[in-house]
Chain A
Amino acid sequence: MGIHRRYFYPLWLRLWHGLNAALFLGLIFTGLNLQYASASAANLDFRTSIMIHNVCGIALSLNYLAFVALNAATGNGRQYLPRLKSIVGDMLLQARYYLFGIFRGDPHPFETTPQRKFNPLQQVTYLLIMYAVVPGAIITGIGLLVPDILVRQVFGLSGLTLTDLTHTVIGFILSLFLLGHLYLATTGATPTANFKAMLTGWHEDAHEPETTRGTDP
């Protein structure tokens, strides 16, 4: 039984991820501060919150563009594409692991390799988050930054209301994602292994001999 180390995350990816994480936290903090603004002193000043939120939002959008471009250029984008043929079965297998196997100490059903860093659930979640939800946040965010470009009325609701509401709901979904993401990151070889990997680029997993696989007493 030995610890197996492999280089998983290239520098650009780690830089992108770190920046994205920091901006994410900034946006969630100031976003909550705006949504639950009050006159109490515990709150960050409303105008400061707006300013920080705007700056973080713009930076995150630019960072996102870089992410899309580098994903295309390096082929890293392929990591997000699940195997369509067996996608449902694969996801169920992974879900079953999180619901049962993980408690029994079963091995991860899908071994991670530099060619296949994400399990099927991760692939589908990340695909949705990075290519649907985050773009949604960016587009509605731009709408709120320059409200003049918004459609005024949609089905009797003001365009701004609709955009605001969508933006808020998306922000909420992303906050939930962050919670789940942080928690599942603790399910590596050791609770901190994945965090270290995201900092150093080196992925560690407890590499067990083939024979003991799946033959728990």
Chain B
Amino acid sequence: MIGMKPLPQEPATAVTAANQKCLRCHAQATLGYRNATDGLYVNLSVNPDEYRASNHGKLTCVKCHTKAFQTFPHPATLRRKQLVCLDCHKKDRKLLKFQFPGILREFQASVHARKLGNKFTCFSCHDPHSFKIHARVSRRVAQTVLYDNHICLQCHSNESAILLLSAKPQPSLDLIHAWLPHKELHWANARCIDCHTAPTNTGVSHQILPKERAVRDCVRCHSSNSLLLQSLYKFQVRQERTRDGFLNATILNQSYVIGATRNYYLNVLSFVVFGLTVAGIAVHAGLRRHFGAKRASEDEKRRRHGHP
């Protein structure tokens, strides 16, 4: 098997102390400068709380930035190393479940990587100082949706962020998705990636498809084999299955997707009640017919025997 060596970690207090040296300056929300060549603002501030809460909160800053940053003023020759998640995550067994190699392949096949080349990296979406997995661990689907959509909206609701990468101006999201009713509701309950990625085996599909291949058919979500079960609710469904073998409870607790939300018991109950009603009516109608016919023949008999 691959990946024997766990990534080295330092004790938490030591990390905090070491990072405090950098955060003394970099926690300032206003730390930044305007780039002389392109006039764009470079934000140099790191939010310490977000950083600590992030998946990398236990790492020292210099794990990713070289030790040379420990001196200030930082040496002018320091250039930021282009880091990729897999530089560190190729081999850690603890993290195998995330399938980093698979994600990398999907990323490379995504529209972003294809169109924008190496201007677009894992860190374009995953803020190195606040990234935190949600879908896999969160019980609150709405929070996952908010977090994941925010990732896309960093650029797709921010014209200057787009222009930094592409000369092609993007139409407004509301305009592009005008065909989708209840947009606010959908933005809050379904993710961009649920419609915009190809289904894959990794925990979160990273293969953003060209827009022509995005999901537009309502029934892909609004039906009993909703694609949401394979994407947004993937982890919930797995948890539910292992916990009590019943698939729909979590989903029912958080969301009602017409066509997709089926409470098993309610469904059975409704069929039974409906069936009994129909059966009751059929029996009643049958009896009416039967006794009606009998009465008619008795009447007939009586009339033939001369009774009124």
Interface residues of A (CB under 8 A from B): 34-39, 43, 46-47, 50, 98, 102-105, 147-148, 156-158, 160-161, 164-165, 169, 172, 175-176, 179-180, 183, 186-187
Contact among B255, B274, B278 with A158 in the assembled complex (CB-CB below 8 Å) = B255
What secondary structure prevails in chain B residues at the interface with A?
Answer: helix
* A35 and B258 form a contact (CB under 8 A): yes
B259 cross-chain contacts in A, Cβ below 8 A: 34-38, 46
Stretch with Cβ within 8 A of A (4 or more), from B30-38, B83-91, B281-289: B281-289
* A46 and B222 form a contact (CB under 8 A): yes
* B184 and A39 form a contact (CB under 8 A): no
B252 cross-chain contacts in A, Cβ below 8 A: 161
* B256 and A148 form a contact (CB under 8 A): no
Given contacts A38-B219, A39-B220, A103-B291, contact A165 B253 (CB under 8 A): no
In angstroms, Cα B64 to Cα A91, docked, is 81
Interface residues of B (CB under 8 A from A): 181-182, 184-185, 217-220, 222-225, 252-256, 258-259, 261, 266, 270, 273-274, 277-278, 281, 284-285, 287-288, 290-292, 295
Given contacts A37-B223, A39-B220, A103-B288, contact A176 B277 (CB under 8 A): yes
In angstroms, Cα B181 to Cα A183, docked, is 39
* B256 and A176 form a contact (CB under 8 A): no
A104 cross-chain contacts in B, Cβ below 8 A: 291, 295
Given contacts A147-B182, A161-B254, A172-B270, contact A37 B277 (CB under 8 A): no
* B274 and A176 form a contact (CB under 8 A): yes
In angstroms, Cα B222 to Cα A103, docked, is 47
**Chain A residue nearest in CB terms to B218:** A46
In angstroms, Cα B178 to Cα A47, docked, is 13
B225 cross-chain contacts in A, Cβ below 8 A: 38
B295 cross-chain contacts in A, Cβ below 8 A: 104-105
In angstroms, Cα B258 to Cα A50, docked, is 10
A39 cross-chain contacts in B, Cβ below 8 A: 217, 219-220, 223
Given contacts A157-B253, A179-B277, contact A164 B219 (CB under 8 A): no
A102 cross-chain contacts in B, Cβ below 8 A: 288
B255 cross-chain contacts in A, Cβ below 8 A: 158, 160-161
Contact among A147, A156, A176, A183 with B273 in the assembled complex (CB-CB below 8 Å) = A176
B281 cross-chain contacts in A, Cβ below 8 A: 179-180, 183
